[in-house]
Amino acid sequence: VSTVNGVAGPIDTAQLGFTLMHEHIVLQSVGLRSNWPEVFDREFVVRRAVAKLGEAKASGVDTIVDLTTADNGRDMPLVAEIVRQAGTQVIATTGFWMQVPRYFHLRSPDVMADLFLRDIGEGIQGTGVKAGIIKAASNDREVAGPLELSFRAAARAHRRTGVPISTHTDSLQQSGLDQQRVFAEEGVDLTRVVIGHSGDTQDLDYLERLLDRGSYLGMDRFGLDHFGGQQFLTTPQRVAVIAELCRRGYADRMVLSHDASSFADHREPEYQEQTWPDWRYTHIPRDVLPALLAAGVSQAQIDRMTRHNPRAIFERQGAY
């Protein structure tokens, strides 16, 4: 039996089922609550997250990968309580998003890798919850500065454990290509990497370059049509890109998700719901899958992207 570290304990990879590969449960501003605890209503957040995870489960979602890192305000005691109440399978992450703490800037990537390994081997924030995936993030065309340290640390922790890597990119900057370069320099098998936010572009040449080096594409921002004045893609546009890549034979290289959250302290919940009404865990099962079928994607290809590929990503483990 092959297992992956989940928030509630090891999950048999055969039981992962329908998996959303890039979501968040709770996003918090780092350092805010330790200074001004009154801005965070813990009971409200728990209640809301349990309800959102319950809706996802009722829509057919079996597993959620929570890619919330320390610099996204990762709070494992809180997530563990939410997961206990919701009963959803959740996989937690180590690694960093783009705000790599200054502690690491003048240190070796091995210092960071050792902490990632602690999250994977012993557990996160004293909870005993072990990370099942490693995150790294960059927006620019070139991976540089403190972000390069975190890519090298992610690569080293990955090679010591076999725990897969999932990235954040700005696909309009084609940042996935240089991410692959750094990983390859570190000896990473690129088929063990998900290049995230690849669904934000219609540039099929760029996407095929990533695919041809063996990585998975995260088509993982369904419902996020726009952000901060920047126009991304609508759901029909995202569906058309996936349908075309399926037609070209890449269904075994894509995973689907929303990059949504149950609660983000960056905005009021009402603001979030009015601005992005489809940015929720249930958009793919309820709306996107029928649209993919209508666009000519087969049920077998959908199963591949939502079930088989996630299982394959978590099943290949062990150091190399």
Residue 154: both structure tokens together: 């992610």
CA distance 212 to 206: 10
In the complex, least distance from residue 13 CB atom to Zn ion, rounded to whole angstroms: 23
Q: What is the amino acid identity at position 58?
A: A
CB of 273 closer than 8 Å to CB of 246: no
* Selected range binding Zn ion among 131-139, 145-153, 256-264, 289-297, rule: CB under 5 A: 256-264
Instruction: Pick the closer one to Zn ion by CB: 87 or 269.
Output: 269
Instruction: Pick the closer one to Zn ion by CB: 200 or 259.
Output: 259
The set of long-range contacts for 266-270, using a CB threshold of 8 Å and a minimum separation of 24, is: 266/27, 266/29, 269/48
CB of 24 closer than 8 Å to CB of 72: yes
CA dihedral 114, 117, 122, 126 (to 10 degrees): 60
CA distance 200 to 173: 11
Instruction: Pick the closer one to Zn ion by CB: 75 or 259.
Output: 259
Instruction: Pick the closer one to Zn ion by CB: 282 or 301.
Output: 282
CA dihedral 149, 155, 159, 161 (to 10 degrees): 90
Of residues 102 through 131, those in contact with Zn ion by CB under 5 A are none
Please report whether residue 259 would count as binding Zn ion according to CB under 5 A: yes
Of residues 13 through 72, those in contact with Zn ion by CB under 5 A are none
In the complex, least distance from residue 22 CB atom to Zn ion, rounded to whole angstroms: 6
* Selected range binding Zn ion among 114-122, 204-212, 259-267, 286-294, rule: CB under 5 A: 259-267
Phi-psi region of 126 (alpha: psi -120 to 50; beta: other; left: phi over 0): left
In the complex, least distance from residue 137 CB atom to Zn ion, rounded to whole angstroms: 8
CA distance 154 to 110: 10
Binding to Zn ion by CB under 5 A, coded x per residue (else -) over 131-160, reads: ------------------------------
Q: What is the amino acid identity at position 269?
A: P
CA distance 250 to 244: 9
* Selected range binding Zn ion among 55-63, 179-187, 237-245, 254-262, rule: CB under 5 A: 254-262
Helix and strand counts by DSSP (H, E) for the chain: 13, 15
- Contacts with Zn ion: how many residues (CB under 5 A)? 1
Instruction: Pick the closer one to Zn ion by CB: 134 or 243.
Output: 134
* Selected range binding Zn ion among 11-19, 39-47, 121-129, 251-259, rule: CB under 5 A: 251-259
* Selected range binding Zn ion among 41-49, 154-162, 198-206, 253-261, rule: CB under 5 A: 253-261
Instruction: Pick the closer one to Zn ion by CB: 134 or 246.
Output: 134
Residues found near Zn ion in the complex (CB under 5 A) = 259
